[in-house]
Amino acid sequence: MPLTLYYFPLRGRVEVFKLMCAAKNVEYEIKDVDYADMKSNRVTYPFGQCPRLVDGDVDICQSNTIIRHVARKHGLYGSGEAEMAAVDQIIDGVESIRGVYLKLIYGDELKEEAKSAYQATHIAPDSSTGRNSGAHFAFLEQLLARNGGGSGFIVGGSLTAADLCVWEIVDLHLRIFKEEVTAAYPLLVAHHGRIAGLPGIAEYLASPARLDKVNNNNLG
């Protein structure tokens, strides 16, 4: 039985799920959300939002819950408690960046002034010690470096959900801040290249299943 994901036709919050399935050759189908059902049915959509995943008797919302479910089931959680906790830490750290990114895209509509402030607060290396809501690329670069110098995966010695969360958030920022990210975070950029070349991922990224539309308002 393929996994069924209910979502909109765009990359958005489901991209890490799709990357995980691609890496592990997990079959899935994506179904359009019935908007009225999503807003009124508190059983299928407990928070009135998608994505929603159905996998046998598992029927869940919240994108990071979906990521963790697939990671547990398909060997993308590392090995042992310390690695699993490290994967969780990165999933949650990436979520902090996603929060400020979504404000930049939807709240500030990617206006030039907002972009400069975002760059200065969340990307510029010297602002990692300032107030940045825990959202800064220097943190991810340092975590990667701490795992054997940063030339492999971000946790342990094999691909985990953490690599794919980091890959996708770096990918989103390379689209907007390519020069700045490339200049400041060589390990993250090299990791981005390595992960993109992995079997399953490379084929997915080249396929029509990797949608062009990134955000619902066509920004980013």
Output the smallest distance, CB 64 to ligand GSH, in A: 6
How are beta strands 52-55 and 58-61 bridged, if at all? Answer: antiparallel
Output the smallest distance, CB 80 to ligand GSH, in A: 27
* Span from 47-55, 153-161, 162-170, 196-204 in contact with ligand GSH (CB under 6 A): 47-55
* Span from 56-64, 151-159, 160-168, 199-207 in contact with ligand GSH (CB under 6 A): 56-64
Counting contacts by CB under 6 A, is residue 96 touching ligand GSH? no
Counting contacts by CB under 6 A, is residue 51 touching ligand GSH? yes
Counting contacts by CB under 6 A, is residue 50 touching ligand GSH? yes
Q: What is the pattern of x (binds ligand GSH, CB under 6 A) and - over residues 158-197? A: ----------------------------------------
Q: Give the residue with the Cβ less far from ligand GSH, 12 or 75.
A: 12
Of residues 16, 28, 63, 91, which one binds ligand GSH by CB under 6 A?
Answer: 63
Going by C-alpha positions, the residue among 148, 184, 193 that lies closest to residue 166 is 193
Q: Give the residue with the Cβ less far from ligand GSH, 67 or 138.
A: 67
Of residues 62, 96, 121, 128, which one binds ligand GSH by CB under 6 A?
Answer: 62
Q: Which residues bind ligand GSH (CB under 6 A)?
A: 12-13, 49-51, 62-64
